[in-house]
Amino acid sequence: ISLSPERLLSFDEHCSLFRSYAANFITNRTEDAPIRLKEAHSLRVYTHVENIVRTEHLPDDIARAGLLAGLYHDCGRFPQFCQYRTFVDAASVNHAHLSLKVLKKKGFLIGETPRVRALAQTAVLLHNRSVLPERLTPDARLVTDMVRDADKLDIMNTMQTSTPETIMNSTLAELAQSK
């Protein structure tokens, strides 16, 4: 898939682009389980945002920004895990900051309008914050909230079907110590 400022990618193309990006981190060893988990998680978050967008009848630019942010919100998790072998931000790096860096460096949003790009980037950067800044515009808050809600929905599902070792590549004791 060719990225260009003159070409708006379809959502199918964005999903393919994301899968190709994630595939770069898969070595087909058992240690890849957390990477595969994050790839699947990101695609499910995208689907959750898609459901939110469909039921809320949002303006096109808000919907598009939310979908893109939902898809790419954890793209920094892949290099984070490869370098640090953990998804624990306190023991490595802030994955939201890293996700924004990856998003910009890879140019995933290069064909988007400046407004969609800014809204999506803001949501990616803020999706892991416990409290959002008060100065956010209503549209940026809406997009960020969509991603945060979709992320939490999937995390709650994942917590019911996976172990901490699979999810975070850390034991419960290690996670408790990282706080």
Tens of pLDDT, residue by residue over 54-85, are 999 999 999 999 999 999 999 999 999 999 98
pLDDT for residue 23 is more than 50: yes
Asked if the model's pLDDT at residue 3 lies above 70, the reply is yes
pLDDT at position 88: 86
Q: What pLDDT is recorded for position 6?
A: 76
Rounded to whole angstroms, the Cα distance separating 167 from 161 reads 10
Distance from chain centroid for Cα 72: 4
* Whole-structure pTM value: 0.87
Residue 67 near residue 114, CB atoms below 8 Å = no
5 — pLDDT class (breaks 50, 70, 90): confident
Q: Is 135's pLDDT higher than 90?
A: yes
Reply yes or no on whether the pLDDT at 149 is more than 90. yes
> Residues with Cβ < 8 Å from 138, sequence gap 6 or more?
none
- The residues, any chain, with a CB within 8 Å of residue 164's CB and separated by 6 or more, are 170, 171, 172, 175
Please give the average per-residue pLDDT across 119-131, as a whole number: 97
Higher pLDDT, 85 or 148: 148
